[in-house]
Each structure stands twice: as structure tokens, then as C-alpha cells.
């Protein structure tokens, strides 16, 4: 069932401008079950569109009515696109508008929606960035929550973007090492491609320049269960004679060119770590300088979930947001996203899957947060990658539900 809600753009001004937020209600046919709100990863990525066979979805529907939220700015909610953002005026006005699209606003949307769909509390499942939002929910509106599940989504509570990237770059180095040990032939293939890109101007089929830095971005694949083998297959036959093969360029474009559908992800990725005073100032780019391994061609190392300012120069889908992105990177003041004192006094049951080798969320910070949230039950596992919720045929969600139903303590596996 489709559901739409009007919410304030700025929750501090409830009588001001409003936007629309969309949610899809999915049920097994039972109307007596409690609600489970699903908060997707991102930021700025719409909720998944259910096909019916997903294991985690089947497991959720056994116990809940599921509400899949298109977080503000995504999917069928009032969107953020190059067309809609241009209507907000100058780049500075656009940046001010986008500051209302972070986790604190998403949580306040959710609370307004909860009061419209149920007279009681509801459960929340947060995947990745959705878990960040769930921790914000625990901080500022725990009265609306009966229980919280997070999968690869416990944020650092007091860490900066710099702190996060210092950890994640090390994790990405490990992913590169594991990939090249598994597929040693890819070392020379990646080096040859990088050398060719240094010496030649190459454009992807839609016209975007393929730079070495953009090519390295394919490393974002390495954080998923099948990502390493997918990268290997992509690198199998990169050349057609003395030129890069058309089929290779098509495959690269497919993996890299999703900014047109989710520009909010690139605009607010670093801002999702910002709190209080202090600009992020392109943290991923700056911290990369502490890891010179990524600036060599031999061996060529792939990067991960890092948003660099050059993306707004080279990707046609992001070029319209260039000046706005730079303003956001220099923005000195942000709302707080977490209340540590409240989390230490938490009374809401929390179960969290923490993936030992997570390439997108720093395990060390997640475990520290799990120790801070009173009563939280973390499950540290090396059995799954960051996409464990999706690929485990319901096992990850079932484990978390069982941890709360049976009152299990902190868990470790894998």
C-alpha cells in the first residue's frame, strides 16, 4: 500500500514550507502485527522496491507490518535532483536547503508518520546509514520506539569525518590485499589500465572522462559479498588491441554512473558525519594524503566509499552541484545528531549486527557505540560483509530478532 505524508521542510518551523514523504506498507495480510519501520542505507538512496522473494523481507513480515520509507529527498518523496535543486536559488540557498536532509530531519519525519499510522510505538530496522538514523532516533525520540535493530549501521558518536576515513582507508587497503591475493593477475591488469589512462584521454560512453581516480572508485565493489569477483570479471578483458575495449567501458560506466539517480548521496555523504562546529572540508581527499599507497600506479590500489571534489568536476550528473558541494564542505555549523547522555540512559532494546571487515562503517567505532548505548546487544561477525542483511536469506535479521526475544547478551561469531 502506498502512503504519503506532508512534513515540514524545517521541523523548527512547523508552519513553514512542507515537503512530501513517501512510504510503502508491505504486509503478510495480517493487520494485527506491529509496525517495523525500515530505514535504508545511503544517505540519499531510496528504500528498496520489494520483489517478494527477499529473505530478510519474508523474515520481517512473519512478525511485523513493514513500512519502507523513502527518506526525504529520495524515491517518491519530494526529490532532490538537478532540476528541483536549481529552483532553490543560489548555491548558498541550495546548501541551506540541503542541510534539512540529514538524519535528524529524517527521524522527525518518522515520528510524525508514526503518530499517523499507529497509536503505539514501533520497531525500527536500520541498514547502514539507516542505522545512523536509528541511533539519532534513540537519541531524540526514544519514546516512539519499542525496539531497534541495526545492520552495519552503528556510527561513531563523537568521531569526525577525518577519524572515520583514517579507519576506513586502512580497511580498504586490506580489501585490496585480499583481492589481489585471490586474483594475482589483476595486479598487472589494473596497472596497465591506470598507465593507459595516464597517457590518454578516455571517455565513458555517456561522455564522462575516465580518470585514474575515477577508475579507482571501482573499489567500492570490494565491500559486498560478491564484490571482489565482480571486480575481477570486470577486469578480465579491458583491452581491444591497443585501446580500452568498448565492453569494458560500458561495464565501468554501469558501476560508476549512478549519481544521476542519487545525487543526494554525493552531496551529503561527508555531511552525514558532521556535528556541531567544524567543516568536513573534503575529509576523504585530505585524509587520503596520509595514505600515499593510493597515489601509485604500480600497484594500482582501488579506493572505497570516498567522495572526492573531483567528482563534481568530471561527472556530468554532479557538475550542476559543484559550487553547492563546495559550500557544504566548508559549512562550519551543523546540528547535533546524537545525544550521548541519552544513549547512556537508553531503555529501548537494541540489537546490532557489526561486520568485522565492514568497508563502509568503521567496526572499531561501532563497537564503541555499542558499549555506550545502555543495554545494546552487539553481534560481531566475520561471516558477512556489509550487505549481510540482503544476502543472508533472512538469517541476519532472524539472529537480531532472536537476540531480543531471548534476551541474549553481546554476541561474537565468525
Active site (catalytic) residues: 128, 358, 386
Q: DSSP E strands: which ranges in 167-278?
A: 239-240, 243-244, 276-277
State residue 274 phi and psi, 5-degree precision: -85, 135
Number of H helices, E strands in the chain: 18, 13
Phi and psi at residue 27, to the nearest 5°: -135, 165
C-alpha cell at 93: 540557498
Q: Are 322 and 312 in contact (CB under 8 A)?
A: yes
Cα 168 to Cα 79, 213, 406, distances in angstroms: 30, 17, 34
The rounded distance, in Å, linking the Cα atoms of 410 and 193 is: 46
Q: Is 235 helix (H, G, I), strand (E, B) or coil?
A: coil
Per the structure block, which three cell numbers stand in for 351? 540489537
Report the chain's terminal Cα–Cα distance, integer Å: 39
What's the CA angle centered on 185, arms 206 and 207, to 5 degrees?
A: 5
Residue 130 and residue 329: Cα distance in Å, rounded? 22
Alpha carbon 246 to chain centroid, angstroms? 30
Amino acid at each position: 500500500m502506498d502512503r504519503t505524508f506532508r512534513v515540514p521542510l524545517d521541523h523548527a518551523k512547523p508552519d513553514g514550507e512542507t515537503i512530501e514523504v513517501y512510504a510503502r506498507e508491505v504486509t503478510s495480510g495480517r493487520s494485527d502485527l506491529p509496525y517495523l519501520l525500515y530505514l535504508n542505507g545511503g544517505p540519499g538512496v531510496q528504500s528498496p522496491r520489494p520483489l517478494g522473494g527477499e529473505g530478510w523481507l519474508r523474515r520481517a513480515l512473519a512478525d511485523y507490518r513493514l513500512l519502507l520509507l523513502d527518506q526525504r529527498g529520495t524515491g517518491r518523496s519530494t526529490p532532490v535532483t538537478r532540476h528541483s535543486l536549481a529552483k532553490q536559488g543560489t548555491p548558498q540557498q541550495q546548501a541551506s536547503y540541503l542541510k534539512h536532509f540529514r538524519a535528524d530531519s529524517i527521524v522527525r519525519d518518522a515520528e510524525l508518520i508514526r503518530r499517523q499510522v499507529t497509536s503505539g510505538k514501533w520497531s525500527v530496522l536500520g541498514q547502514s546509514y539507516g542505522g545512523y538514523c536509528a541511533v539519532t532516533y534513540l537519541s531524540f525520540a526514544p519514546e516512539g520506539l519499542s525496539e531497534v535493530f541495526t545492520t552495519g549501521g552503528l556510527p561513531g558518536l563523537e568521531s569526525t569525518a577525518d577519524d572515520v576515513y583514517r579507519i576506513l582507508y586502512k580497511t580498504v587497503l586490506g580489501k585490496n590485499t585480499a583481492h589481489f591475493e585471490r586474483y594475482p593477475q589483476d595486479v598487472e591488469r589494473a596497472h596497465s589500465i591506470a598507465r593507459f589512462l595516464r597517457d590518454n584521454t578516455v571517455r565513458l560512453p555517456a561522455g564522462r572522462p575516465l580518470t585514474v581516480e575515477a577508475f579507482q572508485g571501482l573499489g567500492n565493489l570490494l565491500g559486498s559479498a560478491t564484490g571482489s569477483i565482480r571486480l575481477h570479471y570486470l577486469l578480465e578483458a579491458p583491452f581491444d588491441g591497443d585501446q580500452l575495449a568498448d565492453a569494458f567501458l560500458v561495464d565501468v560506466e554501469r558501476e560508476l554512473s549512478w549519481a544521476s539517480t542519487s545525487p543526494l548521496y554525493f552531496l551529503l555523504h561527508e555531511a552525514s558525519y558532521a556535528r556541531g562546529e567544524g567543516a568536513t572540508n573534503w575529509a576523504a581527499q585530505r585524509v587520503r594524503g596520509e595514505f600515499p599507497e593510493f597515489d601509485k600506479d604500480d600497484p594500482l590500489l582501488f579506493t572505497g566509499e570516498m567522495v572526492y571534489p573531483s567528482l563534481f568536476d568530471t561527472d556530468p550528473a554532479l557538475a550542476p552541484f559543484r559550487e553547492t558541494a563546495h559550500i557544504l564542505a566548508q559549512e562550519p555549523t551543523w546540528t547535533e545528531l546524537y545525544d550521548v547522555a541519552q544513549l547512556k540512559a537508553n531503555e529501548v532494546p537494541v540489537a546490532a549486527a557489526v561486520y568485522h571487515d565492514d568497508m563502509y562503517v568503521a567496526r572499531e567505532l561501532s563497537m564503541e557505540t555499542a558499549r555506550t548505548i545502555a543495554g545494546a546487544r552487539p553481534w560481531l561477525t566475520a561471516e558477512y560483509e556489509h550487505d549481510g542483511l540482503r544476502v543472508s536469506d533472512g538469517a541476519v535479521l532472524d539472529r537480531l530478532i532472536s537476540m531480543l526475544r531471548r534476551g541474549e547478551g553481546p554476541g561474537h561469531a565468525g
